[in-house]
Amino acid sequence: MSGENDRTYSGKCVDCGSPLVLYEMDFEKSRRVMQCTRCGLFHFYKKDFFGRWKLAKVGRVSDLWRKSK
């Protein structure tokens, strides 16, 4: 077996296709935030009923704080 952690967080950016890195994990709310390595988009995932990760929304921090009309 390898000395590295076999459990990695995988995913690709919806905009540019680059790999994502884990930015934040919230175990109480079953959510995780991942960030694109190239363009910096944040990808928000939540667990569904069956325990699989589902993409909830994507955006930059400034886009998410803006009030929608």
Kind and range of the H or E run holding 44: strand 42-47
Domain that holds residue 42: 20-61
How far apart are alpha carbons 18 and 34 in whole angstroms?
A: 12
pLDDT tens digits along 24-33:
888 888 889 8
Strands 31-36 and 53-59: unpaired
Position 4 in a domain:
no
* Cα–Cα distance, 17 to 12 (Å, whole number): 5
Number of domains in the chain: 1
Q: What is the pTM of this model?
A: 0.71
pLDDT (0 to 100) of residue 29: 87
Q: In this structure, what token pair is assigned to residue 47?
A: 């667990």
- The predicted-structure confidence for 38-65, as pLDDT tens digits, reads as follows 888 899 999 988 989 999 988 887 655 5
Residue 56 lies in a domain: yes
3-state secondary structure of 37: coil
